[in-house]
Amino acid sequence: MNLTHLDEKDKPKMVDVSDKDETTRIATASGIIEVTNEVFEAVINSRTKKGPVLQTAVIAAIQGAKETSRLIPMCHPLLLSSIKTDIEELPELPGFKLTVTVKLKGRTGVEMEALTGVSVGLLTIYDMLKAIDKGMIIKNIQLENKSGGKSGDFRR
């Protein structure tokens, strides 16, 4: 099996995408942060010391998606055309589910951007609430679906 990020001498390389077709590519990822009831109530009732937690997480998720190529060594810098976020309250857990959808017209996919957006958004929630509870659990970060490109569509 040939690995795409290694050259013929097994040195790391960034994949050359210049000959790939430009297509519309969309990827959606999600993840969950599990919190205590105390933390959940503090967030939904806006009683946290560091400000609006969920709004800040949305901004962080967008920033994380935009900065992916600076964080993941072999990712291409991309001109993203759209980043959409959604945070769902999960009172039964308790916790929050963050979903990020990234879109562009280009030669490489945006799965890593969606996954990085989710990761950074959830880490931001953790950072803003760790003074209340350091036992929060970030889990189930996963690609939900992707479309476009040679490898075709994927749906979890």
- 11 domain residue, yes or no: no
- 2 domain residue, yes or no: no
Range of the domain at 83: 23-148
pLDDT at 150: 83
- 136 domain residue, yes or no: yes
- 13 domain residue, yes or no: no
| Mean pLDDT of all residues belonging to the chain | 93
Antiparallel, parallel or unpaired: β 95-106 and 23-34 = antiparallel
Question: Residue 6's pLDDT band (boundaries 50, 70, 90)?
Answer: confident
> Are 17 and 107 contacting, i.e. CB atoms less than 8 angstroms apart?
yes
- 55 domain residue, yes or no: yes
- 82 domain residue, yes or no: yes
Q: Which residues are the active-site residues? A: 127
Q: What is the CATH number of the domain that holds 47?
A: 3.30.70.640
pLDDT digits (tens, 9 = 90+) for 70-120: 999 989 999 999 999 999 999 999 999 999 999 999 999 999 999 999 999
Domain count, the chain: 1
pLDDT digits (tens, 9 = 90+) for 50-62: 999 999 999 999 9
